[in-house]
Amino acid sequence: MKKTLAAGLLGLITLASPLLAEETLTATETAAITTTVNQLMTDLIRNGEALNADKMFAPLSDEPGAIFFTNGRPYSRPALVAAMTQTYAGLKRMSVTISHSQVKVLGRDTAIWLGWGVGKTVDKRGATGEEVLSETWIWQRLGRHWQVVHYHETVSALPDAALKDKVAAALTRFAAELQHLAPTADTAAAKLDAFLRRSPEVLGSRFAFAPERGTKTVIQVCRHNGRFERVTAPAGTDYTTQEWYAKADPAGAPTWSAPYRDATGAFVVTCSLRVLEGSSGKPIGVVTADLAL
């Protein structure tokens, strides 16, 4: 998949170091600043989608010490505008879907916007790109105007079609193994271990029992520090409402989720496959494979 730095378009990052000690503000003041920063980010995104780097990065500080990071590379404002102008010149269009965002208000003059989402591009040759964008923008008010004094973006490519096809095929074979079994929590965990051992590209896997069979349990095994660890869902979790279970194809075809953050905070996409009993075709459960981004 073509790697395009769709800079300035949105995702969640973990940088949130305060520039100032937090002030005590009223709820009304906090809400007003939150609304302002969200509107500034909306305008910024629209300018990026219009492939206009000058307008998109106009709010960035041009102070000599101001540094802005894209995928670990530092830029001054002029250097960033030049780099993104060149990148955008090769694109036909770009769009962003915001999955999550929040504003952390530190004081009357400082706020941090954090968010993540998916950026999609089409270049002038017709090639498409899709990436997860994870970002922090630090806004500071100077007089009546707000400016960006720092931002940090990480771009993660989504798995390509060949890898997704490989994982979907492996998961289909795994589901076929389960069709003729009556899995228990222990046997399901052992099977998940074996699946991960022969599928090194898979970060984690789960088997969720179909509630209509009288058992509402999900077993999950993940890689961690070279070992396989069994993960327990938080009490009260209703996995049947989660995308990987609810949108699994009733006929048993592989289904891929949109990117999301798992329980560990990692960005993943999940392939889900509904397991059907070999003799009756009744649902046994859903089995999944997670790929890290």
Task: Convert the pLDDT of each residue in 40-75 to its tens digit.
Answer: 999 999 999 999 999 999 999 999 889 999 988 999
Distances (CA, A) of 145 to 106, 139, 241, 283: 17, 10, 44, 58
Q: Given this model, what pLDDT does residue 20 score?
A: 46
Looking at per-residue pLDDT, the higher value among 212 and 34 belongs to: 34
Q: CB-based contacts of 284: which residues, under 8 Å, 6+ apart?
A: 178, 179, 183, 209, 210, 213, 275, 276, 277
| pTM given for the model | 0.74
Buried (b) or exposed (e) across 199-225, using 16+ Cβ within 10 A? Answer: beebbbbbbbbbeeeeeeebbbbbbee
Which contiguous run of DSSP H or E holds residue 47?
A: helix 27-49
Q: What are the backbone dihedrals phi and psi of residue 147, each rounded to the nearest 5 degrees, phi first?
A: -135, 160
| Distance separating alpha carbons of residues 220 and 191, to the nearest angstrom | 11
Buried (b) or exposed (e) across 108-140, using 16+ Cβ within 10 A? Answer: eebbbbbbbbbbbbebeeeeebbbbbbbbbbbb
Question: pLDDT band at residue 262, thresholds of 50, 70 and 90?
Answer: confident
Q: Given this model, what pLDDT does residue 124 score?
A: 96
Is the domain covering 161-292 a CATH 3.30.450.20 domain? Answer: yes
| Distance separating alpha carbons of residues 151 and 126, to the nearest angstrom | 30
Question: pLDDT band at residue 6, thresholds of 50, 70 and 90?
Answer: very low
Looking at per-residue pLDDT, the higher value among 137 and 278 belongs to: 137
DSSP one-letter code for 263? T
Report whether 68 contacts 139 (CB < 8 A): no
**Structure tokens of 114?**
């954090």
pLDDT > 70: what percent of the chain?
92
**Structure tokens of 205?**
């896997």
| Distance separating alpha carbons of residues 101 and 85, to the nearest angstrom | 26
Task: Convert the pLDDT of each residue in 14-47 to its tens digit.
Answer: 333 444 456 789 999 999 999 999 999 999 999 9
Range 27-157: architecture per CATH: Roll (3.10)
Q: Given this model, what pLDDT does residue 3 score?
A: 37
Q: Given this model, what pLDDT does residue 237 score?
A: 80
The sign of the dihedral angle between the CA atoms of 197, 201, 202, 203 is: positive
Looking at per-residue pLDDT, the higher value among 57 and 11 belongs to: 57
pLDDT at residue 268 is higher than 80: yes
Give the least confident one: 46-55, 100-109, 152-161, 166-175.
Answer: 152-161
Which of 235, 234, 261, 249 lies closest to 288 in space, CA to CA? 249
DSSP one-letter code for 127? -
Q: What average pLDDT does range 183-207 have in this prediction?
A: 90
pLDDT at residue 223 is higher than 60: yes
Tokens 């599928």 locate to 199
pLDDT at residue 187 is higher than 70: yes
Looking at per-residue pLDDT, the higher value among 212 and 101 belongs to: 101
pLDDT at residue 267 is higher than 90: no
pLDDT at residue 8 is higher than 90: no
Distances (CA, A) of 204 to 25, 286, 287: 43, 14, 11
Q: What average pLDDT does range 122-136 have in this prediction?
A: 94
The domain spans of the chain are 27-157, 161-292
